[in-house]
Amino acid sequence: MNSIKCETALRTFRQKRFIQCMYAVGFLDLFGVSMIIPLLSHHVKSLGASPSIAGIVGSIYGILQLFSSTLVGCWSDVIGRRYSLLACILLSALGYGLLGLSTNIVLFIVARVPVGIFKHSLSICKALLSDLVSESERPLVMGHFNAASSVGFVLGPVVGGYLTELKGGFYISSFICSSIFILNAGLVWVLPWKDFIQEHKCISKDNDISNATKKEHSRDISNGNSVNVSTVTSLKSFFQPACDQVVSVLQKIRVVACSDMWDVFLVRLLMAVAVMLYYSNFALALEERFSLKPKMTGYLISYSSTLGALAGILIGPMTKLYHNNMYLMLLHSSILTCSLMFIYAAASTVWQVVLCATFFAVSTTVGRTCITDLELRQGGTQASGTLIGAGQSVTAVGRVVAPLVSGLAQEFSPCGPPSLGAVLALAAVLLMVFRIPHDTKCEKND
């Protein structure tokens, strides 16, 4: 009896350490990326690109992400998380290394291609974490992972800005970013995968088969992918013919496309576009409406980002408060986001903007975690890579749409983008009110 307890305690400790290492992977990933992102537009301009060419070059990454997110997510379901994660990290490192060699616009475009296709390491990490933990623990783990990643995104621009002041600062930042990704790949490689993945996959398989038997109204994604469960973690699957992998990926995409999850993905799209509209002209609007200097706007954005990072820690207690009802958490966070957008659009003082930014960072962080968890609950953990990838593709659509809509809204007023964002958020709330209660009821009856 004591030996069983000791073995269980040791397994729990190892699992906790493994998950903490994944937090470190997420932190290093966004830390490296955020060193580069603020410097890209300046670097493109220094290469002699016109504003229109710079805009086209900047859209390449978003377009590649749009089409590759679902494909890479499905691929991680087929060959396993370890090898897909390593491939994505190393190829991203290659892209950022090439960025450090980009002395003309052609090389810059070439460097953005591998990053645009394979920069899905965070999505695969989330899929891996969903494989390792139970459904009740998933919101807490996802919240902590988002918090760790966000801390990296807050600190990265500070280091990148400092390096930029040095001679050849952009190239130094690019090579450091590439080195961080290589370090991340090394961390992923040395993790004790064998201790956890096979065991948790077997548990996941049993749970999903049980849920499929109990839930005849389920959205059928787990059932559609059960034939591939035995190949997910096998080392042998990494060497299966490329055509078989392509067929498996296409089958998974077809199952997701034919599933009845349009409401969840539509809510994600509406809220993603709404949040992007809020931030699209944030600095310019504050300058025009309140004569706020860019320096103060930068402080406000940093303050909001820090709160967003800390908000991830609150996911666990909030989940317990809501008795693990992710539908209700998402609904309430979306209502709060919608209300704050209306208040920000109508704000007459800077302090009202600060108040909105304070709670907006918390509500959006909670909303992102809830919508991801909701997708996994609806679709089943066996297709977690596919589902998270599909969600990222939906968000990528928002990245393409939001700048166009924001530009049109700004023609009327500086308050146009956040006002339109509030309307879209309201549409998402109404969709949840009229669509999701039925699913919630079914969930409780099961």
Domain membership of residue 233 (yes or no) is: no
Q: Are residues 24 and 103 both part of a single domain? A: yes
Count of structural domains, the chain? 2
Segment 157-186, tens digit of pLDDT: 878 878 877 788 888 989 999 999 999 999
For the chain, report the end-to-end CA distance as a whole number of angstroms: 34
Q: Are residues 313 and 174 both part of a single domain? A: no
Q: What is the mean pLDDT of the chain?
A: 80
173, 192, 211: which is the final residue of a domain? 192
How many Å apart are CA 300 and CA 295, to the nearest integer? 9
Q: Are residues 321 and 174 both part of a single domain? A: no
pLDDT, residue 160, reads: 81
Domain membership of residue 230 (yes or no) is: no
Q: Are residues 139 and 267 both part of a single domain? A: no
pLDDT-based confidence at residue 249 (cuts at 50, 70, 90): low
Q: Are residues 401 and 302 both part of a single domain? A: yes
Q: Are residues 183 and 298 both part of a single domain? A: no
Q: Are residues 35 and 134 both part of a single domain? A: yes
Cβ pair 388, 396 in contact under 8 A: no
Segment 28-56, tens digit of pLDDT: 999 999 888 877 877 888 888 776 777 77
Q: Are residues 151 and 291 both part of a single domain? A: no
Share of the chain above pLDDT 70, in %: 80
pLDDT, residue 193, reads: 79
169, 192, 215: which is the final residue of a domain? 192
SS (HEC) of the chain: CHHHHHHHHHHHHHHHHHHHHHHHHHHHHHHHHHHHHHHHHHHHHHCCCCHHHHHHHHHHHHHHHHHHHHHHHHHHHHHCHHHHHHHHHHHHHHHHHHHCCCCCHHHHHHHHHHHHHHCCHHHHHHHHHHHHCCCCCHHHHHHHHHHHHHHHHHHHHHHHHHHHCCCCHHHHHHHHHHHHHHHHHHHHHHCCHHHCHHHHHHHHHHHHHHHHHHCCCCCCHHHHHHHHHHHHCCHHHHHCCHHHHHHHHHHHHHHHHHCCCHHHHHHHHHHHHHHHHHHHCHHHHHHHHHCCCHHHHHHHHHHHHHHHHHHHHHHHHHHHHCCCCHHHHHHHHHHHHHHHHHHHHCCCCHHHHHHHHHHHHHHHHHHHHHHHHHHHHHHCHHHHHHHHHHHHHHHHHHHHHHHHHHHHHHCCCCCHHHHHHHHHHHHHHHHHHHHHHHHHHHHHHC
Share of the chain above pLDDT 90, in %: 25
pLDDT-based confidence at residue 339 (cuts at 50, 70, 90): very high
- pLDDT exceeds cutoff 90 at 96: yes
Q: Are residues 158 and 264 both part of a single domain? A: no
Segment 301-334, tens digit of pLDDT: 778 888 888 888 888 888 888 888 888 999 999 9
pTM of this prediction?
Answer: 0.76
pLDDT, residue 291, reads: 84
- pLDDT exceeds cutoff 70 at 100: yes
Q: Which residue has the higher pLDDT, 313 or 232?
A: 313
Q: Are residues 270 and 167 both part of a single domain? A: no
Provide CB contacts within 8 A for 272, sequence distance 6+: 394, 395, 398, 399, 402
- pLDDT exceeds cutoff 80 at 358: yes
What residue numbers bound the domain in which 25 lies? 11-192
Q: Are residues 187 and 285 both part of a single domain? A: no
Domain membership of residue 252 (yes or no) is: no
CATH code: domain of residue 60: 1.20.1250.20
Q: Are residues 188 and 267 both part of a single domain? A: no
Q: Which residue has the higher pLDDT, 375 or 250?
A: 375
Domain membership of residue 434 (yes or no) is: yes
pLDDT, residue 199, reads: 47
Provide CB contacts within 8 A for 195, sequence distance 6+: 11, 14, 18
Domain membership of residue 153 (yes or no) is: yes
Domain membership of residue 110 (yes or no) is: yes
192, 219, 247: which is the final residue of a domain? 192
- pLDDT exceeds cutoff 70 at 208: no
Segment 258-267, tens digit of pLDDT: 667 888 889 9
Domain membership of residue 228 (yes or no) is: no
Domain membership of residue 247 (yes or no) is: no
- pLDDT exceeds cutoff 70 at 152: yes
Nearest Cα to 173, choosing from 28, 25, 55, 40?
Answer: 40
pLDDT, residue 299, reads: 77
pLDDT, residue 381, reads: 57
